[in-house]
Amino acid sequence: MVTIGHYLVLSSVLFAIGAGGVLLRRNGIATLLGIELMLNAANVAFVAFAKQHGNLEGQVVVFFVMAVAAAEVAVGLALLVAIFRRLQSIDVDRLSAMRW
C-alpha cells in the first residue's frame, strides 16, 4: 500500500535535488533545469494531496502549473539566448552588470 507519505518524501527529495541544482550550478541551462525539477516536485505533492482528499482541485492546480512552467521556460530560454549573444557565455556568475 503506497501511502501519501511515500509520495511526499519523493516530492521533497526531488525538490531538494532541484534546489541543489539551482544553488550549485553556474550554467544557466542547468539552473533552469533545476527550477523545472522543483516545479515537478511540487506537482507530485499536489496530486498526492488531491488523491488524499478525494477531490480534483489539486490536479487543476497542477494543470495550471504546467502551463505556467511552459511559459516560464520559453521566456527563460529566450533570455539565455539573448545573454549568450551578448556575453558569449551562459555562466550566470558573469551577469554582474547590476551588482550592488
- The distance of closest approach from Cβ of residue 70 to another protein in the complex, given in angstroms and rounded to an integer, is 6
Under 8 Å between Cβ of 63 and 53:
no
Residues 14-33 that bind another protein (CB under 8 A): 14-21, 23-27, 29-30, 32-33
| 72 half-sphere exposure, CB direction, 13 A CA radius | 14
Residues 36-65 that bind another protein (CB under 8 A): 36-37, 40, 43-44, 47-48, 50-54, 56-57, 59-60, 62-64
> What is the C-alpha to C-alpha distance for residues 36 and 72, in angstroms, rounded to an integer?
9
Biggest CA–CA distance in the chain, Å, is 54
- The distance of closest approach from Cβ of residue 92 to another protein in the complex, given in angstroms and rounded to an integer, is 10
Residues 77-96 that bind another protein (CB under 8 A): 77-82, 84, 88-91
